[in-house]
Amino acid sequence: MTSQTPPAEPTPIAVRLEQVMVRFPAHPAPRTLLFDAAIESGKITAIAGASGSGKSTLLNLIAGFETPDAGRISIFGRPATDVPPALRPVSVIFQEHNLFAHLDIATNVGLGISPSLKLTPDDRARIERALDDVGLAGFERRLPPTLSGGERQRVALARALVRRRPLLLLDEPFAALDPALRHEMGDLLAALQKKEASTILLVTHHADDVRRLADRVLFLDDGKVALDEAAETFLKRTGPEAVVRFLGARSQAS
Partner 1 sequence: MRAGFMGADRIGRERRLTRGLGVAGLAGIALFVGAAILALSLAASGNGAPAGAGATSGMADAALFDRYVWRVTRFTLVQAGLSTLLSVAFAVPVALALARRRTFAGRIWIVRLMALPLGLPALVAALGIVGIWGRQGVVNDLFALADLDRPIAIYGLAGILVAHVFFNMPLAVRLLLSGLERIPGEYWLVSANLGMSRLQLFRYIEWPVIRGLLPGIAGLVFMLCATSFTLVLTLGGGPAASTLEVAIYQALRFDFDPPRAIALSALQIAVTALLLLVLRWLTPPVTEALTTGRPVRRFDGGSPLSVLTDAVIVALAALFVAAPLASVLVAGLASDLPKLAADTQVHQAVLTSLGIAAVSAGLAVTLAVAMLTTRQILLSPRRPGRFAHVFSGGVAAGTSLILLVPPVVIGAGWFLLLRPFGDVARFAPAVITLINTLMALPFVTRVLAPAMATHAARTERLTTSLGIRGWARIRRVDGPGLRRPLLMALSFAAALSLGDLGAVALFGSQDMVTLPFLLYSRMGSYRTTDAAGLALLLGLVCVVLTILGTAGESRERAA
Residues that bind partner 1 (CB under 8 A): 63-65, 84-87, 90-92, 94-98, 100-103, 111-112, 115-116, 145, 163
Q: Which residue lies nearer to partner 1 by CB, 168 or 213?
A: 168
- Residue 69 CB, nearest approach to partner 1 (Å): 16
Q: Which residues pair with 16 in a beta bridge?
A: 38, 74
Q: Which residue lies nearer to partner 1 by CB, 92 or 220?
A: 92
Q: Which residue lies nearer to partner 1 by CB, 41 or 60?
A: 60
- Residue 243 CB, nearest approach to partner 1 (Å): 27
- Residue 102 CB, nearest approach to partner 1 (Å): 4
Rounded alpha-carbon distances, angstroms, from residue 204 to 37, 49, 55, 67, 241: 17, 8, 8, 22, 18
Instruction: Give CA–CA dist 188/28, Å, rounded.
Output: 39
Q: CA 44, 47, 48 angle in degrees (round to 5)?
A: 125
Q: Which residue lies nearer to partner 1 by CB, 11 or 107?
A: 107
Q: Which residue lies nearer to partner 1 by CB, 111 or 214?
A: 111
Paired sense of beta strands 224-230 and 78-79, if any: unpaired
- Residue 221 CB, nearest approach to partner 1 (Å): 23
Instruction: Give CA–CA dist 11/118, Å, rounded.
Output: 34
Instruction: Give CA–CA dist 89/4, Å, rounded.
Output: 5
- Residue 150 CB, nearest approach to partner 1 (Å): 16
- Residue 115 CB, nearest approach to partner 1 (Å): 5
CA distance between the termini of the chain = 42
Look up residue 54 and give its amino acid.
G
Q: Which residue lies nearer to partner 1 by CB, 7 or 84?
A: 84
- Torsion angles phi and psi, residue 163, rounded to 5: -75, -25
Instruction: Give CA–CA dist 41/201, Å, rounded.
Output: 10
